[in-house]
Chain A
Amino acid sequence: MTVLTPELRDDMLRAVSSLRAFAISLTGSVDQADDLVQEALVRGLSNLNRFEAGTNIQAWLFTILRNQFHTAYRKRRREVEDPDGSMAGKLCSAPEQDGHLDLEDLKAALARLPFEQREALLLVSAEGFSYEEAARICGTRLGTIKSRVNRARTHLAEMLGIEEADDIGADRVIKAALHHHP
């Protein structure tokens, strides 16, 4: 049985802002995200005996949150796969072709991705989990995660009308972002 040690508690507290960022990006709604985070923490605490000491508690909490989201979402989801990007394509509207791409454009495009691609991209590219960790969190194979991340990027590039890195690079938001993450 895993006991909530001060170290484990601190790790859980530290995970909260990441869990929130993930949940907000996943659902597009702060309220819904906070519900998910709250439930994930409560469930995590009451199932602490299932947590394997020494493993990554952050990844474990992400798994709980992700599974909750899917349980809630499965009821209303109609499309599981979007093999040729038809869903993203239908909703496509490229931003103004003036070389400017900001965070709002990205958020709007992200919301249009099939959610399995969205979660894969968020876990790997935004949160920085390895492909292996992301596959474990999503309960799928490594190749599937790689494929989803790749398709997510391709869809985003299409939706945002990006063909080259310079299409993004012109914007000052990106310069600021690169400055923060050299």
Chain B
Amino acid sequence: MTQFRSVKLLTRQEDRNPFVKEHVKAMLRKLASRSEQPLSQPSFRNGYSPPDRQRKVTSAVPPQGEPAIDRAVQERFGALLRSMYDERKAEPIPDRLLDLLKQLDKRGSGRGR
């Protein structure tokens, strides 16, 4: 129990000190191997990225002063988002929209050329 509390305390300091963060990670790994209780990874929510990731960052369009995520991760996200989109595009169009589209279809063929 005291162990958990100290991890929590250290997690708060992680953004300021990368060495503390490494220490926290190591402690979490140690605890996770001992305990059944799932432990979440400390995240880098406040804009801090650890040195080993900073080197890998290659954004297609790096906005000024903001950390960008790994290019390969961006591409995988893109593929995932497009597959979610394709799934939604394939969903049947409801009747009320189809009715509207029929009107649009009629209107279009009545005009134009």
Q: In the bound complex, what is the Cα–Cα distance between A163 and B41 (angstroms)?
A: 11
With a cutoff of 8 Å between Cβ atoms, the chain A residues found around residue B80 in the complex are 101, 103, 106, 168, 173-174, 177
What 1/0 flags go to B67-93 for Cβ under 8 Å of A? 111101111111111111111110101
* Bound Cα distance A158, B47 (Å): 11
Among the 9-residue stretches B4-12, B16-24, B99-107, the one with 4 or more Cβ atoms under 8 Å from chain A is B99-107
B69 contacts which of A12, A18, A89, A157 (Cβ < 8 Å)? Answer: A157
Binding-face segment, A3-11, A49-57, A63-71 = A3-11
Q: Which residues B27-47 have CB closer than 8 A to chain A?
A: 38, 40-41, 43-47
What's the least CB distance linking B106 to chain A, in Å?
10
A8–B108 touching, CB < 8 Å: yes
Docked CA distance A7–B108 (Å): 9
Give A143's nearest chain B residue, CB to CB. Answer: B63
Q: How many residues of A contact B (CB 8 A)?
A: 69
Q: When the two chains form the complex, which single residue of A3, A24, A174, A180 contacts B88, counting CB atoms closer than 8 Å? A: A24
* In the assembled complex, A169 has its CB within 8 A of some CB on chain B: yes
Contact B85 A126, beta carbon cutoff 8 Å: yes
A38 near B100: Cβ-Cβ < 8 Å: yes
Summed over the interface, the residue pairs from A and B with CB atoms below 8 Å come to a total of: 167
- A41 in contact with B69 given A20-B88, A106-B81, A174-B80 (CB within 8 Å): no
B96 A38 Cβ-Cβ under 8 A: yes
Question: Which residues of A lie under 8 Å from residue B84 when comparing CB positions?
Answer: 25, 103, 106-107, 126
B55 within 8 A of A: no
| Interface contact A181-B79, CB-CB below 8 Å | yes
Query: Which among A5, A86, A149, A157 is the interface contact of B113 at CB below 8 angstroms?
Result: A5
Tell me the bound Cα distance from A92 to B59 in angstroms: 24
B3 within 8 A of A: no
The reply on B2 being an interface residue by CB < 8 A is: no
Looking at the assembled complex, report how far the CB atom of B66 sits from the nearest CB atom of chain A, in whole angstroms: 6
Assess A20 versus B107: contact at CB under 8 Å? Given A34-B94, A38-B100, A153-B69: no
Q: Are A6 and B112 in contact (CB under 8 A)?
A: yes
Beyond known contacts A143-B63, A180-B86: 10 more, CB 8 A cutoff:
A9-B108, A25-B84, A30-B91, A42-B100, A96-B38, A106-B80, A150-B69, A157-B69, A161-B40, A164-B72
